[in-house]
Chain A
Amino acid sequence: SYVLTQPPSVSVAPGQTARITCGGNNIGVKRVHWYQHKPGQAPVLVVHDDSDRPSGIPERFSGSNSGNTATLTITRVEAGDEADYYCQVWDISSDHLVFGGGTKLTVL
């Protein structure tokens, strides 16, 4: 089965840039989506199809995808960005949807 690998945690100071990676075999040919999930709340889609933002998501959130790594970048990080972030793809070979293990973003 297809595996997505994320770092368990990323820490960044307010105002700085956070980069969260999502590794997978040849992930660059897949469409990668990113979710923000805060405790007790429903997950929120922040980037879809590698680099597109849904309406209402700040431009501070951006995504890229190439080779074996997709990346979610959050610029000018704010305290309110502290959350778990998950990448997601569809694996055609198994017809399964796959989430990464999640990355906890801590704003110092």
Chain B
Amino acid sequence: EVQLLESGGGLVQPGGSLRLSCAASGFTFSSYAMSWVRQAPGKGLEWVASISGSYYGTNYADSVKGRFTISRDNSKNTLYLQMNSLRAEDTAVYYCAKDHFPNVAPRYVSFNLWGQGTMVTVSS
């Protein structure tokens, strides 16, 4: 079955760190760029970061650049998001998402598969 399964969310204090994981199955993981998208409570979708399939090029939203790191292990079919210096405004459901088509340039990206999301709460 084609699916994405996030894990690693939870409650963390401001300034703390958390690492999210996204386990992929049912498709050739290394052929697809992957992304993290979040939704704060009562707010809309917000792109966080993207990573290409094989050469590992990355892009980040300005709100997380320098604090978050997206990475992947193609041997484990797993996507990661290392989140440091967390702030209250990072509180959100974090989704991992798969590009619709393999090996496409970022300007063509759309997401045809999403995980169910993992909740991250930053609070003291």
Contact = CB atoms under 8 A, between A and B. Distances in A.
Given A37-B45, A42-B117, A86-B45, A97 B50 contact: yes
Interface string B69-110: 000000000000000000000000001010010000011111
Interface of A: 1, 30-31, 33, 35, 37, 41-45, 48-49, 54, 84, 86, 88, 90, 92, 95-102
A96 B100 contact: no
B110 A102 contact: no
Contact of A97 (B100, B109, B116): B109
A99 B50 CA distance: 14
Interface string B4-42: 000000000000000000000000000000010100000
Interface of B: 35, 37, 44-47, 50, 59, 61-62, 95, 97, 100, 106-112, 114-117
28 contacts: A1-B62, A31-B107, A31-B110, A35-B111, A42-B95, A42-B116, A43-B37, A45-B111, A45-B112, A48-B110, A49-B110, A54-B100, A88-B45, A90-B106, A90-B107, A90-B108, A90-B109, A92-B107, A95-B59, A95-B106, A96-B59, A97-B59, A97-B106, A97-B109, A98-B47, A99-B44, A99-B46, A102-B45
Contacts of B97: 43
A96 B61 contact: yes
Contacts of A54: 100, 112
A35 B114 CA distance: 11
A97 B35 contact: yes
A87 B37 CA distance: 14
